[in-house]
Amino acid sequence: MAGSNKTVKTGAAPAGFREAALFTLVTILFGCGIEILTSGGGIDVPGWPFNLIFLLLFGGSIVAVALLFRERPMVSWLGGIPLGLSLIIGIALLSLVGGVLPQEEYPAGSIMTVLRLNGMFSSWPFALVTLIFLINLGLSLVWKTIPFRAANLQFMLFHGGFWLALSCGLLGNSQLERLVVPIYEGKASNVAYDNKTEKVIHLPFAIFLKDFQIDEYVAQFALYDPQHDVVIEPKSKLMPELHKGVKAEWEGIGSVTVLDYLPDALPDAKGMPVPVGDKKGVRFAKVRIDENGKISETWISSGSEALQIKPLFVPMGGYYIVMADGPPKAFRSNVMLIGDGGERKVARLEVNKPVDMQGWMLYQMGYDEKAGRYSTMSLVEAVRDPWLPAVYLGFFMIMAGNVLYFWKGVKKMEEA
C-alpha cells in the first residue's frame, strides 16, 4: 500500500479510492480462492464461548490500533471513507449476486456450489469483506468518539449501532437455535427438530395442545371458465361473498342468488346437506341460477379433501359456479406449557404473538395444511437467540442516530 500513503497525506480525493477498490477486489478474490480450495465449504462462525472471545479480541485490537497508530497513513486509510465506500460497493455487489441467484441446494461440483454462490451470506468473500468493513467502521468510530464531542453523537449512534448489530448478528448466528415442535390435540410433547442439522432435541419443557383453531375469511363463490382455467369477474368485480341473500351478476351470462347457507353440513344418503357441529362438516349453499330467464335452484359445496367429500358445482352457460373456502384469517394453539420443574403456564400461540418460556420464544408456525381447518396438529417454532439484546441495542442506536440525523437534515434544509 505504498501508493496509498502518499495519497492520504495529500488528501487528493480520487487517488485513495483506487487502492481501496483494488484492496476490496483482492479481498473478494481471496475469499473466492478459499471457497475453491474447500469446494464451497463456506465459513463456520465459532460457537460459544469462542464467538465472544473473538469479538472482544477483535474489538479490543481495533480500539488499540486506532489509538496507538492513528498517525500512520496506512491506518488512517484503513479507517477512511474511500475504503468504506469501496467496501459498501463490495458488499452491495456480493449481496446483488446473493439476491439474484437462488440461495438453495445445487449439485456438488457445479460452479454455483464451488464458489458458494448459492450460499453467499455464509461464504468467505462475504465474511472477509464484512470483517474489513467492521475494521473500517470501528476505526472511524474510535476516532470520532475519542476525544468525545457532543457534535459527533449522531455519528457514534449510527456507526456504533451498525457495528454492534452487524458484528453481534453474525457472531451470534452460531448460537441461534430454531427448532420445530409438532404438537397434537390432547397430547404433550417436548420433542423438537432442527431442520438444518436434522437433530432431535428435547426442550426443557413440554407443550400440551388443548385446542387448535383456525378462523377463515368468508367463503366465496365464483364463475369458473374451464376452457381457459380462469375465474370470470362478476359485474361488480368483487368475488361474491357467501351470505344468505347475496346476488352476483355476470353480464351476458346470468346471475346467481344465494338462498341459503350452511357453514357446517354433511350430505345425507341422497346428497342433501344436513347441518352438523362446528368443524365437522363442509360449507353448502343453495343457489338460484338465472341463466338469462332460465331459472334453476341447486346446492353447491366447497367439499373437503380431508373429509373426503367431493365439491359440488353446477354449470351455467359454458362455465361452472364453484365455491371456495376463504383463506385462513387467523390460527392459534391454546396450549399448556409444562416445565421440567413442574411449573405450568397457560398460553395462546398465534401468528405475530410469540410467547416466552424459559428463554425460548414460541411461535405459531403452521398446521396440517392438507387438513386445513380440520387440522388437529399444530407446528410450533421454538427460537433461542442469546445475542438478540446486543443486536437490538444496535438497532435502537441506529434509530436514535437516525432521529438526530433527520432533525439536523430538516434544519439544514430550512436554511438552504
Which residues contact ligand HEM (rule: CB under 6 A)? 79-81, 84, 87-88, 133, 136-137, 140, 143-144, 155, 158-159, 162, 398
Shorter beta-carbon distance to another protein: residue 337 or 380: 380
Give the residue with the Cβ less far from another protein, 33 or 389: 389
Q: What is the DSSP letter of 325?
A: P
149-208 residues in contact with another protein (CB under 8 A) are 169, 176, 178
Q: Which is nearer to another protein, 48 or 392 (CB)?
A: 392
Contact 303, 312 (CB under 8 A): yes
3-state SS, residue 125 = helix
92 binds another protein (CB under 8 A): yes
| Phi, psi dihedral angles at 136 (to 5 degrees) | -60, -50
Shortest Cβ 405–ligand HEM spacing (Å): 6
| Binding of another protein by 73 (CB under 8 A) | no
Residues 108-147 that bind another protein (CB under 8 A): 120-121
Q: Which is nearer to another protein, 198 or 415 (CB)?
A: 415
Which partner from the list another protein, ligand HEM, none does 6 bind, CB cut-off 5 to 8 Å by kind? none
- Interface with another protein (CB under 8 A), residue from 15, 75, 88, 306: 88
Q: Which helix (H) or strand (E) holds 296?
A: strand 294-301
* Part in contact with another protein (CB under 8 A); list of ranges 70-78, 286-294, 307-315, 405-413: 405-413
Contact of residue 79 among ligand HEM, another protein, none (CB under 5-8 Å per partner type): ligand HEM
**With respect to another protein, which residue has the nearer C-beta, 243 or 344?**
243
Contact 389, 168 (CB under 8 A): no
Residue length of the chain: 416
Nearest C-alpha neighbor of 333 from the set 188, 185, 179: 185
| Residues β-bridged to residue 296 | 289
Report the sign of the C-alpha dihedral through residues 23, 25, 27, 29, in that order: negative
Cβ contacts of 45 within 8 Å, gap of 6 or more: 51, 170, 171, 173, 174
322 touches another protein by CB under 8 A: no
CB of 95 to another protein, least distance (A): 5
260-319: contacts with another protein (CB under 8 A): none
Of 73, 326, 339, 372, the residue at the interface with another protein (CB under 8 A) is 326
Instruction: Report, in Å, the least distance between residue 13 CB and another protein.
Output: 6
Does residue 386 touch another protein according to CB under 8 A? no
Peptide bond into 240 cis (omega under 30): no
In which residue are the cell numbers 346471475 written?
255
> Which partner in ligand HEM, another protein, none is near 108 (CB below 5 to 8 A by kind)?
none
Phi, psi of 196 (to 5 degrees): -75, -50
CA distances from 342 to 183, 312, 339 (A): 19, 51, 5
* Dihedral class, residue 330 (left if φ above 0, else alpha if ψ from -120 to 50, else beta): beta
Q: Is 410 in the site for another protein (CB under 8 A)?
A: yes
- Pick the piece of the chain touching another protein (CB under 8 A) from 87-95, 182-190, 253-261, 335-343: 87-95
> Nearest 5°: phi and psi at 254?
155, -170
| Closer to another protein by Cβ: residue 57 or 92 | 92
Please identify which residue in 15, 63, 239, 253 interacts with another protein, judged by CB under 8 A. Answer: 239
CB of 76 to ligand HEM, least distance (A): 9
Chain centre to alpha carbon of residue 255: 43
Residues whose CB is less than 8 angstroms from the CB of residue 220 and which lie 6 or more positions away in sequence, other chains included:
239, 240, 241, 242, 323, 324, 326
Contacts of 215 (CB under 8 A, 6+ apart): 328, 329, 330, 331
Q: How many Å apart are CA 251 and CA 169, to the nearest integer? A: 57
- Which member of 22, 188, 201, 361 binds another protein (CB under 8 A)? 361
From the list 82, 125, 160, 281, which residue makes contact with another protein (rule: CB under 8 A)?
Answer: 82
Cβ closer to ligand HEM: 116 or 144?
Answer: 144
The site for another protein (CB under 8 A) is made up of 13, 81-82, 84-85, 88-89, 91-92, 95-96, 98-104, 120-121, 169, 176, 178, 217, 236-239, 326-331, 350-354, 361, 363, 365, 381, 383, 385, 388, 391-392, 395, 398-399, 402, 405-406, 409-410, 412-413, 416
